[in-house]
Structure 1
Amino acid sequence: MLVTKQAQTRSTDLVAWRRHCRGTLPLDASVEEWMTDFFSDDNLPGLIEEHGSPLNLISTAPMRSNLDQLNQVAAERNLDFKVFFARKSNKCLAFVDQANHCGAGIDTASENEIQQAIDQGVEASQIICTAAVKSDSLIQRCLKNSICIAVDNRDELHVIVDQANRLACQAIVALRLGGFRHEGQKLPTRFGFDVDRDNTLLAELSDLPLSVQGIHFHLDGYDARQRVNAIAQSLEWIQALRDLGHSPAFLDIGGGFPISYLRSAQQWEMFWQEHEKALLGQRESITYRNHHLGRQQTEGRIVGKPNSYPYYQTPVRADWLASILDAEIGGQTVATKLRNSRIQLRCEPGRSLMDGCGMTVAKVEFRKQNAEGDWLIGLAMNRTQCRTSSDDFLVDPILLPTGEGTSDPMTGFLVGAYCTESELLSLRRLKFPTGVRRGDLVVFPNTAGYLMHFLESRSHQFPLAKNMVVSDAGEPIALDLIDV
């Protein structure tokens, strides 16, 4: 009963916090309990003063839960399975330690990420290098430490072979594939050997100083059916490798496991319906200067797709993985096919492991009205500190009224510190029913996956945001080792 009362209290508190800032069309974020505890923490303003704005707060506890969900799906199907954490999704070393502690590997995309994993005690067999561009120095580091390299192209393969011969060692590699066939079409990608055109590569590998341990691929998007077809075609390559005397033992299906940032499918659908009306001039704009978010108005109709992550979607994470494993290939489920092929299934999720693991907090520095009468609320941060490749982070921020003085209700936009007209932290029009004061704090929830670090920039010589680890074991909050 106590747990139920606590949950009810948190839910009531969260409703109270949300009332200070809502989108014109609300998009309520899913928020973890550890985050809500901070909303009323009297120490939060002091942390901002000490470490600067914005400040990233992270917790590794949700990562452990997210990993457990994926592992449980595989265990229920008696599948040999291993998760590799996509380090590029967040630079904090606390997540490397947590992944290692939970038995997950580390997917690295740079030489620094490799060395940091080694320095944190991750064994070489638990590291894979999937960097899109691999320098001579990076390849040497992999070879000297016996780290598996996902080979992307022939030039890269030649460098690996040359350096392996020079070092008198055998390179451990996985062949990265692309160009899979799906519903009569080739899936476009910039990654990997083409599954059809480059099949002559197989006959060229036998006399090279390589140990081909597996097949790897990366697909854009979240279509589970595409993954099933890619798995089927990858298994054909695995069999061909075995027929030629190689011993591939794993199939790595990359990352891109979907999550849902929002609580309500209805809010998500309503937002896009009203956004379309705004673009057609049928209602007032709900984005800054009626920003199109990737869609266009042409001859009275809306064309194009939103340049946005699907912030609400289903199925996600474990259920999505289960749908792939339970799909059929040639009359057998994918899970059965992998078991019968004696293949370990690997994956490299980033965002889905970071779900619930972080939030970004920034201080309000000013309020002013522009020439159009819109209020602009200036935060001590820039747009690269909460942004990926999407046009916008489509969740409602949470305003913590910690500033002094009074303020009238206002409607406007969050703007950042870069000296450009496009420096919007959120393109959506936001309502502030209780006003905004200088010194208030704005929280962007669930930013650990890519949003904190993927595009962060030091333009204008601004310092990068500090990252603080919130312990679930009662230990004091402390800077992540990446900042020490």
Structure 2
Amino acid sequence: MEVTETASPLPAKEPDWVTRVKADPALLAEIAHAVGGDPFHVVSPERFTVHLAAFAEAMGTAGVDGTVYFGKKANKAACWPRACAEANAGVDVASTPELVHALANGVRGADLVVTGPAKTDDLLWLATRHRALIAVDALDELERVIAIAESTHSVRVLLRVLPAANPHSRFGLTDDELTVAIDRCAAHRAHLTMEGFSFHLTGYAVAPRAWQASDLIDRCLSARTKGLAATSISIGGGFALDYVDANSWQEFLREYRDSWFHTRKTFGGFYPYHSDPAGAAMLSAILASPVPSEHADLAAKFAETGTRLLIEPGRALLDGCGFSVFPVLGHKHRGDYGFVTVSGLSLSLSEQWFDSEYLPDPTLWPQRQAGDPTSACVGGSSCLETDMLSWRKIRFDRVPRAGDLLIYPNTAGYQMDSNESEFHQLALPPKIIVTTTPDRIRWRWDSTISGRGR
């Protein structure tokens, strides 16, 4: 069989638990049978807990006091906030349902930070009732918080700053607005505790985060002179994730061509699927950065000014914590490459809906004896031409066939559920929790699925 020109391969880095699950001769088939042939997501809270500990260790090693808040929007499964509760970590929420879900899974209100743009009155009231920390994004929002504070006598806030590196962002307070906000917080400090400042940067560069953090520490010191607590700053999330090795990623970028994709489709850009540093190592790099001050580095500035560090990683905490499984429905040829149609929708692989493509290579399960190699794109089971899980022509060592499972790796961070919908009245793919011991692998439904217990 003729094989068309295919992209340079991008095999994903896989943790041991994934390797064990894929090597089991029956486990994935049993889960596929249990969910009725629909797509499903497999997740591992055990690995998530490892990442929580790594971020906390990076702070501790640098001599910095702080808190890790999981950015809940990155994945809706109940197992993550439960893991945060058990590890005494926090959760970052941006809606009333997210806040309620975190509380229901054991996260204490004082361990929540409420972020996002203008928040509803219900969200602000509920956050206040549970002593959550509220990141205030605008002056009118601050006035609503002050009104709640005067009736409850207990509100904790951060002031979100418009970062110098993202001057056109719609989020955060300008310098002039910050001056007003600080004065308002000082005037109402009997009912409101201004605990510091926050920011969030796009991109994954280390230096801009260090510089912005240093500036906010200076702002904390200034705010303290006005009688405000100003004990903490949040540098948000944006900790990179390292999906593939450096050589594979560099070869892909060097050899890239439009002919690798169905209809020669082009994209606005790709996530940096190889990053160094990534995850907790990126936090260590930020803290080790020199900053404009008399302090040796940013970590020393935090420690020596008595300022706490708050972070809100989402994707980075979910690195290697899950993969998505799509049963193969059929395969057809079109010229020198083919199309695999899978059960489910590309809405369950969210990168496709941001003018981009999810690039780590999917793999077929079970592993069978290699046959005729082929290349194919992957489409969902809807009636839309654009319902493509992979526009890229992927090389397979055999022809995919009905009954195979196509596994997309490392999808827990933002990929598996941020854009899912019940288009065609298809049920949302369930999340299956896998736990491993030296002698066995066990699985169960995540509690968000159909009311099933943990």
Using structure 1 for the length normalisation, give the TM-score. Answer: 0.85
The corresponding residue for 2:14 is 31
- Partners in 2 of 1:140 and 1:343 — Cα distance? 28
2:7, 2:252 within 8 Å by CA — same for their partners in 1? Answer: no
Per-residue deviation at 1:390? 5.7
The corresponding residue for 2:181 is 201
| 1:256 partner SS | coil
- Partners in 2 of 1:140 and 1:239 — Cα distance? 29
Among 184, 198, 217, the residue aligned to 2:199 = 217
Structure 1 residue identity aligned to 2:111: Q
Among 286, 296, 304, the residue aligned to 2:260 = 286
Unaligned runs of 5+ in 1: 1-21, 280-284, 295-306
The corresponding residue for 1:268 is 249
Segment of structure 1 superposing worse, 329-338 or 252-261: 329-338
1:402, 1:439 within 8 Å by CA — same for their partners in 2? Answer: no
Q: 1:66 to 1:390 in 2, by over 3 A?
A: farther
Structure 2 residue identity aligned to 1:76: T
- Partners in 2 of 1:456 and 1:102 — Cα distance? 29
Among 363, 372, 378, the residue aligned to 1:398 = 363
2:158, 2:198 within 8 Å by CA — same for their partners in 1? Answer: yes
- Partners in 2 of 1:338 and 1:195 — Cα distance? 22
Per-residue deviation at 1:407? 7.2
- Partners in 2 of 1:150 and 1:387 — Cα distance? 27
**Aligned counterparts, 1:297-336, within 5 A:** 307-329=269-291, 330-332=293-295, 333-336=297-300
The corresponding residue for 1:386 is 349
1:401, 1:436 within 8 Å by CA — same for their partners in 2? Answer: no
Q: Do structure 1's residue 131 and structure 2's residue 112 form an aligned pair?
A: no
- Partners in 1 of 2:6 and 2:51 — Cα distance? 29
- Partners in 2 of 1:132 and 1:48 — Cα distance? 40
2:118, 2:138 within 8 Å by CA — same for their partners in 1? Answer: no
- Partners in 2 of 1:460 and 1:113 — Cα distance? 26
Q: 1:478 to 1:127 in 2, by over 3 A?
A: same
Per-residue deviation at 1:475? 7.1
**Aligned counterparts, 1:454-473, within 5 A:** 454-473=418-437
**Aligned counterparts, 1:21-420, within 5 A:** 24-41=7-24, 42-52=26-36, 53-165=38-150, 167-180=151-164, 187-195=167-175, 198-208=178-188, 209-263=191-245, 265-275=246-256, 278-279=257-258, 285-294=259-268, 307-329=269-291, 330-332=293-295, 333-370=297-334, 372=335, 374-388=337-351, 389=354, 391-401=356-366, 408-420=372-384
Structure 2 residue identity aligned to 1:270: E
The corresponding residue for 1:478 is 444
- Partners in 2 of 1:146 and 1:71 — Cα distance? 23
The corresponding residue for 1:444 is 408
- Partners in 2 of 1:221 and 1:455 — Cα distance? 21
- Partners in 2 of 1:131 and 1:86 — Cα distance? 11
Deviation by residue 1:73-98 (Cα, 9 ceiling, x = unmatched): 22222211211111111111111111
Structure 1 residue identity aligned to 2:363: I
- Partners in 2 of 1:378 and 1:407 — Cα distance? 19
Per-residue deviation at 1:402? 7.5
1:262, 1:395 within 8 Å by CA — same for their partners in 2? Answer: yes
| 1:314 partner SS | coil
Segment of structure 1 superposing worse, 340-349 or 123-132: 123-132
Per-residue deviation at 1:131? 2.9
- Partners in 1 of 2:117 and 2:10 — Cα distance? 34
Per-residue deviation at 1:250? 1.1
